[in-house]
Amino acid sequence: MDYENHSIDPTSLEGWVIHKCDQWRDHFESNYKERFDEYYRLWRGQWAAEDIMRSSERSRIISPALQQAVESAVAEVEEATFGRGKWFDIQDDLRDQQNLDVQIIRSQLDEDFKFVSARKAIAECLINSAVFGTGMAEIVADEEIEMVPATQPIMEGDMQAVGVMKTERTVFKLKPVMPQNFLIDPVSTSIESALGVAVDEYVPIMKCI
């Protein structure tokens, strides 16, 4: 990245982070980019000249067998994960004789997951892991408008107006990340052992404010 064009001081903390991200991006592009692009093309059924196996090959038809195999394998994982209804659980302390608090937390967490469509995001992570061998996501905070049924007295309390009340709610969403947009220290074997990680992708301008 050109620090002069982006007005970034290379000696600052921001410049140090950008420099590391550039190095990690270069490592990915030189070692994995072509292979990941090939995986994506084969899964989507997109023809490319570099995938030709023989010089006499003229057909541009991509068999959907690979896509069907991937989706079938992911469907089995989803069924094993979500098929029983309750796909997560919270264990209480053995010394705690009151189990009602954990049941309330479990029910509230299940409701929150449904509100932010966590299951759909996890399913997308499973697809990415089946195609590229790695599935990952980031947790992002966002503001959502929640609409709940409400009543309001009118006509000096003689009547009740029934409708919907809109309230702002802070939620935490699970956002799937494509492996091509995930940068990590190349010498690390996990997020915990890495010097750092970064998500490098384009976002809408409203998300940057």
pLDDT at 7: 66
- Residue 203, domain member (yes or no): no
- Residue 152, domain member (yes or no): yes
The structural domain count of the chain equals 1
Q: What is the mean pLDDT of each run of 10 residues along the chain (209 residues)?
A: 57 88 93 90 82 72 84 92 86 78 88 91 94 91 85 78 84 92 90 91 69
pLDDT at 185: 92
- Residue 18, domain member (yes or no): no
Q: Which domain holds residue 155?
A: 32-51+62-193
- Residue 72, domain member (yes or no): yes
- Residue 11, domain member (yes or no): no
Question: Residue 35 CB: number of other CB atoms within 10 A?
Answer: 11
Residues β-bridged to residue 162: 151
pTM of the entire predicted model: 0.76
- Residue 71, domain member (yes or no): yes
pLDDT at 175: 93
